[in-house]
Copies of this chain bind each other. A is one copy, B any other.
């Protein structure tokens, strides 16, 4: 007998609520942010063929579907509380559901983020997660807070996910450990939740890098009403990416996509606090430029030469 909708929820997704007042199984979930806390929420939809390849292991897909949402909480400095999962899939395949739910809950448990509700339906493979976190009143990190003179930082390294994508597309050769490393960056992004929390009161603005550094930086600068100088050769990259041709390195770090690192700003006087936050967050924070009053983005190489900005940002509705 095929697995029914309510059986599959019971078997793979219903777990007792621990922190939420009411979890899976009623018309709504009930959440109560602690006194003085605001509720942060974000949602992301992942569609097969667009956000992930059909060949991805289901446990990695479960991880990534939640990770991209936790990354949005991280960019606000919010601590994860709960999430809902809406899942459309062609068939209720037990092996797939087992892997997907394992990857999903492993990451959820690591961040104390519990599943409180959702929806399952038959259709094309499509995953929509809404995540909920809490942040002390007036302490959320916003995209709009960057000020001229602030330093510009990015966490971790950039470009490995794009490198893996290009390897799968066949536009470059990548084998062995290099492919394994790049593929893990694409399929198992680590949301910078601890860093985001540690940056409360330190960073003046933040955004998560999901569409490529240049595109996401442009959002931050526009919403802050400022411009910036970006040191292109200072962008942090893995040894795997650093072994590629210079043009590949620039494409992947500047316009890679799927990085899920935090791009943020802080006054120069808070440089030590930024590094302390990075230690608390368990990830490097690299200074990559400076915010300037003049609108627009200016790129420079290691020798201080201006570079033309010829890289595009990812847009789902433009070729």
A residues sitting closer than 8 Å to B (CB atoms) are: 2-6, 8, 21-22, 25-33, 38-45, 47-51, 72-73, 75-76, 78, 84, 86-88, 91-92, 116-124, 126, 128, 130, 132-133, 135, 137, 140, 142-144, 206-208, 223, 315-319
Which 3 A-B pairs rank lowest in CB-CB distance, beginning with the nearest?
A47-B123, A128-B128, A27-B75
A sample of 18 inter-chain contacts (CB < 8 A) reads A3-B317, A4-B318, A5-B315, A8-B317, A27-B75, A27-B208, A28-B41, A28-B42, A28-B72, A30-B38, A30-B39, A30-B135, A31-B39, A43-B119, A45-B87, A45-B88, A45-B126, A128-B128
Q: CA separation between A41 and B73, bound complex, in Å? A: 17
Q: Which residues of B contact A30 (CB under 8 A)?
A: 38-40, 76, 135, 140
Q: Which residues of B contact A28 (CB under 8 A)?
A: 40-42, 72-73, 75-76, 78, 133, 140
Q: Which residues of B contact A207 (CB under 8 A)?
A: 27
Q: CA separation between A310 and B49, bound complex, in Å? A: 42
- Also in contact, A41 and B84, with CB within 8 A (given A208-B27, A317-B91): yes
Q: Which residues of B contact A48 (CB under 8 A)?
A: 123
Q: Give the contacting residue for A2; candidates B33, B38, B39, B317; CB below 8 A.
A: B317
Q: From residue A284, how far is it (CB to closest CB) to chain B in Å?
A: 21
Q: Give the contacting residue for A5; candidates B29, B39, B137, B316; CB below 8 A.
A: B316
| A40, closest chain B residue (CB) | B28
- Also in contact, A41 and B86, with CB within 8 A (given A4-B317, A27-B75, A126-B124): no
Q: Which residues of B contact A33 (CB under 8 A)?
A: 32-33, 39
Q: CA separation between A206 and B208, bound complex, in Å? A: 40
Q: CA separation between A72 and B130, bound complex, in Å? A: 16
| A84, closest chain B residue (CB) | B43
Question: B47–A126 contact, CB under 8 A?
Answer: yes
Question: B143–A47 contact, CB under 8 A?
Answer: no
| A121, closest chain B residue (CB) | B316
Q: CA separation between A38 and B26, bound complex, in Å? A: 15
Question: B130–A130 contact, CB under 8 A?
Answer: yes
